[in-house]
Chain A
Amino acid sequence: MYSTTAVIEQRQDAPPGDLAIWFFILAELLVFAVLFVVYAVARRNNIELFDLHQQQLDRSSGLANTLVLITSSYFVMRAVAAIRDGRAHLCSRWLWGAFALGFLFLLIKGAEYQHHFAAGITLRSNDFYLFYLSLTFFHFMHVVMGMVILAAVAFKAQHGGYSATDYTGVETGASYWHMVDLVWLILFPLVYVMH
């Protein structure tokens, strides 16, 4: 088996988790980056429209969701620390906690959407809503995807699928969740706050 030093050295060389997931995380970030840039350009060409409708967004919901996601990322970090210590059940519990917070995010965002749709707002209402709904819904779906991944990893951890020497899957899932969080941390100020 590997010596501890060899394991630590290996970890310092490569990013944590499966290499494949990093390729996809980069691709994901690229899509969001492009959308953000296009949003910025569209906003510059239409500042009044964008500022006007931005006021109609519920900033407290946005802030609450930001706190929810940051906390969930903290939970995920605790989960990785737990499995590193070989504590699979603790790891699983932290992951389910993050999952629950993810679900809370979906509820809060869902309530916002409910409010918009009730007011007759759609993708086609105007350019601001086109971007706001596209960006947030695309992110929303990534939260759903992230939750699926967290659940899968949590299940596997619960059933002894990971150990202190073999937990790549946990790191992979954690990386994906952190990406989802990171995107929101850019999205929230960009779309909800900056004017």
Chain B
Amino acid sequence: MKYQSQLVAKPYFIAAIGLFIGQIIFGLIMGLQYVVGDFLFPEIPFNVARMVHTNLLIVWLLFGFMGASYYMVPEESETELHSPKLALALFWIFLVAGALTIVGYLAVPYATLAEMTGNDLLPTMGREFLEQPTITKIGIVVVALGFLYNVGMTVLKGRKTSISLVLMTGLVGLAVLFLFSFYNPTNLVLDKMFWWYVVHLWVEGVWELILGAILAFVLIKTTGVDREVIEKWLYVIIAMTLITGIIGTGHHYYWIGTPEYWQLLGSVFSALEPIPFFMMTVFAFNMVNKRRRDHPNRAAVLWALGTAVMAFLGAGVWGFLHTLSPVNYYTHGSQITAAHGHMAFYGAYVMIVLTMISYTMPLMRGRAAANSNRSQVVEMWSFWLMTVSMVFITLFLTGAGILQVYLQRYSDAPQAFMVVQEKIELFYWMREYAGLVFLTGLLLYVVSFFIGGKEPAQQNA
């Protein structure tokens, strides 16, 4: 770690992991509510648990992206961060605002929260993933602007590498697209159309640029492969991301009242969206195979490779399975969607943040380049527990989804939603057990930071 100001990443990463644990606890609550329907009712109804679960996910990933940026940008730009103080101030503002919002969700009925926070002045609440009170959203914009200013000034005053430029492009895109969350028209069709500008163009657009940049950074550091090679492939990958993903937005425009040509255009382009993820997998494995050094942080390399594979499977393959409009007609809004969503988010974004944390934490804690062998073994156990259990979660939800789609949508004698939900309960129970394994993996991940600290650093193999 070359620049002292890179250390501001540490609190961001710690907060990220803390919020991640909260996310999973609420995920387990929801999973139980699926089968024990009135669990914690009426104190924590399902929708409240859900908004806590999804909002925590998004916020901890944002903490992760910001931490990653604060670490990467000084090193790439070869200069100290413009203002570490600002970074720490924004950290606390974001954390407190986020915590208050979650408390708000849990403490009062949602309609009351809307009233208390003056939602009527500019109503932006009540939409999926955008449940935050308008004032929280404004806070997010302020934090984002401060963050962009801070890293932007750092890039401007230092060396401009492709990695930092791609990262900045992704981050600026993230911030600009978030502004669409303030547009909430009375016309539901318009509402839905532009809602996807935030959601799709984030996770199937600019977030992939951030993912690519972080992956490229970690690969350069851990494999020693020439920067020119890695950065060239980064451009090819993100080019394919936007080439497929921008018109690919149309795969959300099949059944919401928008014109039917989206069924053709959205299908064709979104079917190609797995390509950049496939390339990322080939790219990651290739770079590691061509490596010029055996980096002692084997766990970080495992996370990096795992990210590429799981992102391809979850986002690419599972996404492809239900992206074509003739298929989607039957699977739209079913457990198939949930299956894809979980593995995609985990594979692409959870894992890249964990990759970055895995790579940077030993360096920020003053260890040579990696944790001790014992610590890495535990960390790699946590990788496998979380990853394999996520695969099972996805498989169980896929099973549930196939049955649901057949019984409720495709069959000649379609059955009611609640009737079908009862029939697929077995899959939900199995999902919940897999979820408990996932939590175990996550707790083990946290444990790995506290063991083997006094042991000698991992030797170069």
Contacts and interface: CB of A to CB of B under 8 A. Distances in A.
Do A and B belong to a common assembly?
yes
Interface of A: 20, 23-24, 27, 30-31, 34-35, 38, 123-124, 130-131, 134
Given A27-B240, A27-B243, A27-B275, A38 B261 contact: no
25 contacts: A20-B232, A23-B236, A24-B239, A27-B240, A27-B243, A27-B275, A30-B272, A31-B268, A31-B269, A31-B272, A34-B268, A35-B268, A38-B264, A38-B268, A123-B259, A123-B261, A124-B259, A124-B260, A124-B261, A130-B260, A130-B261, A130-B264, A134-B261, A134-B264, A134-B265
B329 to A, nearest CB: 16
Contacts of B261: 123-124, 130, 134
Interface string B251-264: 00000000111001
Contacts of B272: 27, 30-31
Nearest to B269: A31
B271 interface: yes
Contacts of A130: 260-261, 264
A27 B269 CA distance: 11
Interface residues of B, number: 15
What DSSP secondary structure best describes chain A's contact surface?
Answer: helix
Given A20-B232, A23-B236, A124-B261, 15 more contacts: A20-B236, A24-B239, A27-B243, A27-B272, A30-B272, A31-B269, A31-B272, A34-B268, A38-B264, A123-B259, A123-B261, A124-B260, A130-B261, A134-B264, A134-B265
Contacts of B259: 123-124
A2 B264 CA distance: 50
A130 B263 CA distance: 11
A166 to B, nearest CB: 19
- What 5 A-B pairs come out closest when comparing CB atoms? A123-B261, A130-B261, A124-B259, A34-B268, A35-B268
A131 B240 CA distance: 23
Interface string B232-257: 10001001100100000000000000
Nearest to A130: B261
A31 B268 CA distance: 7
A124 B259 CA distance: 7
A24 B236 CA distance: 9
Contacts of A131: 264
A134 B275 CA distance: 22
B213 to A, nearest CB: 19
Contacts of A20: 232, 236
B221 to A, nearest CB: 25
B11 to A, nearest CB: 40
